[in-house]
């Protein structure tokens, strides 16, 4: 067997090559937030959590360290990572989570109410929303010249979805703190009163007196889609969507507990803010000397707990997983239990196994039989160490 590690920019490439199979674990430490789930999930104790507090405040190092000499390249860390900081490949082929024995659940999908606006596109913290523009005003070459007109936005009808902003440069957004658009105004020096924005607005909030530049109604100017490989199922898009056009199911349920009574004496909300910095969704914020958590957009990963060096935050988490029935599913479910209860795996070390073998004593009349049995067991054990052999068992292929 051959084990190698390569570092390229922000990514670590851990590689294992055997006689029949090769595996590769890729770790992107800039995506990692230091939640520690992989530390408890690892069956070989090959992953160690680094000082998340110091990393949040500027120390440039990976939140976790992977010992590739101990790693068994099983892929559990890949399948349970809530921020998708790991990639896993077998024989050069990307492994999909849903092909693993157990994987962290989570789903995002559009509903029929989606109007392909710009809210989810502008607020997604991981750029998992793709908005493909089909038509902008600048794509229509015909313009009105020298006409007098009038344009008005009915703020009672407007839902601040931003379709008009993305469509025409005449619409200028005033960005909000919580929402992408606090208000939308019109720059009439840019507007030529073409009336196309009337078609684009799904709420009928735009009124224009001018001259139409094209015949027929302008529709479907953009299309929104979601990249599941980037989505962490935080639910920000679903919370802010003014049309209930997104449905999100989270992979982790839980509760964040902040020790409010100790904040004034122990927390440094001005000089620290480590919990806010590491939060991958912006759900954890420090405001007015208090730590506030938006449970609706929190993914309960536990990064804020690890970042707080004063032990003022506790994250209770319950992993929602899906699974395939394989010979390894039971072992992977034990990894899920370790994450929930925050327990490290009990690794059966090679040196301890040798001690146990030395302690075995046989009765004289059974020594020959037991010796043959031990040899058979050793042959089986050597076979089970081969990834290709285990895969054939999993796929129920006898040869």
Quote the pLDDT of residue 362.
41
CB-CB contact of 197 with 106 (8 Å): no
Which residue positions in the chain have pLDDT lower than 70? 348-370, 373, 384-399
Q: What is the dihedral of CA 19, 23, 24, 25, to 10 degrees?
A: -130
Beta bridge partners of 208: 151
Q: What pLDDT was estimated at residue 290?
A: 87
Strands 222-226 and 129-133: antiparallel
In this prediction, residue 370 carries a pLDDT of 60
Report the phi/psi class of residue 204: left, alpha or beta, with left for phi > 0 and alpha for psi in -120 to 50: left
The pLDDT of residue 357: 39
Express each pLDDT in 123-166 by its tens digit: 999 999 999 999 999 999 999 998 999 999 999 999 999 999 99
Residue 108 to residues 37, 70, 120, 247: CA-CA distances in angstroms? 22, 35, 12, 6
Q: What is the pLDDT of residue 383?
A: 72
Q: What CATH number belongs to 2-104+326-341? A: 3.30.70
Predicted confidence (pLDDT) per residue in 63-98, tens digit: 999 999 999 999 999 999 999 999 999 999 999 999
Q: For position 368, what pLDDT does the model report?
A: 56
CATH of domain 135-219: 3.30.70.20
CA distance 270 to 197: 45
Contacts of 82 (CB under 8 A, 6+ apart): 35, 37, 104, 232, 251, 252, 299, 301
CA distance 57 to 60: 9
pLDDT for the residue numbered 347:
78
Task: Kindly state the DSSP code that residue 146 receives in the 8-state scheme.
Answer: S
Assigned token pair, 313? 């935050």
């Amino acid at each position: 067997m051959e084990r190698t590690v390569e570092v390229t920019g922000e990514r670590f490439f851990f590689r294992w090559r055997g006689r029949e199979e090769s595996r590769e674990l890729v770790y992107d430490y800039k995506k990692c937030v230091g939640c520690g789930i992989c530390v408890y999930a690892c069956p070989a104790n090959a992953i160690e959590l680094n000082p998340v507090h110091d990393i949040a405040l500027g120390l440039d190092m990976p939140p976790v360290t992977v010992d590739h000499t101990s790693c068994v390249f099983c892929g559990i860390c890949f399948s349970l990572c809530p921020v998708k900081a790991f990639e896993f490949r077998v024989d050069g082929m990307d492994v999909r989570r849903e092909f693993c024995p157990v994987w962290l659940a989570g789903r995002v999908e559009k509903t029929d109410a989606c109007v392909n606006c710009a809210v989810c596109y502008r607020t997604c913290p991981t750029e998992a929303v793709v908005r493909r523009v089909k038509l902008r005003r600048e794509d229509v070459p015909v313009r009105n010249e020298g006409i007098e007109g009038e344009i008005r936005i009915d703020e009672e009808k407007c839902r601040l979805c931003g379709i008009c902003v993305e469509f025409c440069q005449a619409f200028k957004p005033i960005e909000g703190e919580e929402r992408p658009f606090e208000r939308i105004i019109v720059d009439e020096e840019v507007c030529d009163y073409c009336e196309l924005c009337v078609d684009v607005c799904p709420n009928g909030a735009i009124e224009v007196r001018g001259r139409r530049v094209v015949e027929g109604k302008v529709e479907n100017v953009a299309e929104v889609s979601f990249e599941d490989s980037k989505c962490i199922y935080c639910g920000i898009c679903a919370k802010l969507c003014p049309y209930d056009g997104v449905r999100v199911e989270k992979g982790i349920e839980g509760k964040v507990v902040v020790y409010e009574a100790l904040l004034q004496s122990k927390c440094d909300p001005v000089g620290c803010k480590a919990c806010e910095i590491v939060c991958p969704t912006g759900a954890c914020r420090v405001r007015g000397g208090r730590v506030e958590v938006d449970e609706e957009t929190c993914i309960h990963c536990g990064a804020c707990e690890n970042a707080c060096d004063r032990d003022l935050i506790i994250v209770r988490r319950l992993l929602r997983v899906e699974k395939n029935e394989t010979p390894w599913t039971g072992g992977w479910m034990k990894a899920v239990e370790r994450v929930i209860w925050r327990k490290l795996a009990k690794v059966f070390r090679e040196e301890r196994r040798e001690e146990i073998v030395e302690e075995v004593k046989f009765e004289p009349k059974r020594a020959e039989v037991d010796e043959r049995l031990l040899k058979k067991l050793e042959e089986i054990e050597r076979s089970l160490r081969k990834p290709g052999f285990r895969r054939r068992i999993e796929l129920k292929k006898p040869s």
